[in-house]
Structure 1
Amino acid sequence: RVARQKKSIPSSLSIYLNGECWSFDFGRYWMEPDIENYRTDGTFIENNTRYGFVVLMKDHKSLWDAIQALMRFVREKCGVNIVHIHSDCDVMVRHDGSPNETYTQCRVHMSDAGIGMSFS
C-alpha cells in the first residue's frame, strides 16, 4: 500500500472563492472629459479568474461608487460578497504622504461593508 501525498497550498496564498478578492487600479486621468464627463476609470481584476471589471468615473472621488458597482455585480453574478481589495497606494496618498479624503472615506465605507484592503 502506498501512502498518498498530501497536496499543500503555499502559505503565502490566501484562499478566496471566485469574486471575493480583487485587485484595483485607476486608469489614466484625462484633462478633458469625454462626452458624458468621464475622465478616468477604475479597473478591478478578480484574483482567481483574472476577470476584469471596469467602471467609468468622473473623478477619483467617485471611487466608493465604483466599488459599490463591483459589489452589486459580484453579489448578482457570483453569489458571494467581496472580502478583500488590493491596490497600489500612489493614488490614495497626497504628495506630503498623508491619506487623502477619498481614501479616508473609502476605508470607512469598506470597513462598514466588511471589506479588507491592502496596498503595495
Structure 2
Amino acid sequence: MIYDDTITILRAPVTTDRYGNEVRDWANATRTRVEGVSVQPRSATESGSDEAREMVTTGWRIYTRAGVDVDVEPTDRIEWAGRTLEVIGEIARWPHPIRRGAVHHVEIDVQRWSG
C-alpha cells in the first residue's frame, strides 16, 4: 500500500433542533487533517429496477501507516478526494504485536450513497 492520501476528519457537535431532538451540527464541525493514509476501494452496490429510484452505495477502507493511531469516531465523517463520506461501524484499531497497549494501525470503513 502507498500512504499518499490525505483525509479530513469532520466531528460535529451535538445540538438540539426545534423539535427537541439531539442532532449533529455539521455546519460547525471541527476539521482535522490527516496525511499519509491509504484509501482503498471496498465495495459498490446498486439498488434499482424495482425501486422508485436507483441508488448506488460505494465504500472505501482507510488504512493508517504502522504505528499511527488517529482520533476518529463512528459518528464522524471523512472528506477525501472531493467527497464527504460516512464512517461505517466501529473503528478497527489493530494491536501492536510487540509493544503492549500500542496500536499497530487503524482501519476505517467509509461509504457514500448517491441516487
- TM-score relative to the length of structure 1: 0.27
Specify which structure has the higher proportion of helix. 1
Specify which structure has the higher proportion of strand. 2
Higher radius of gyration, 1 or 2: 1
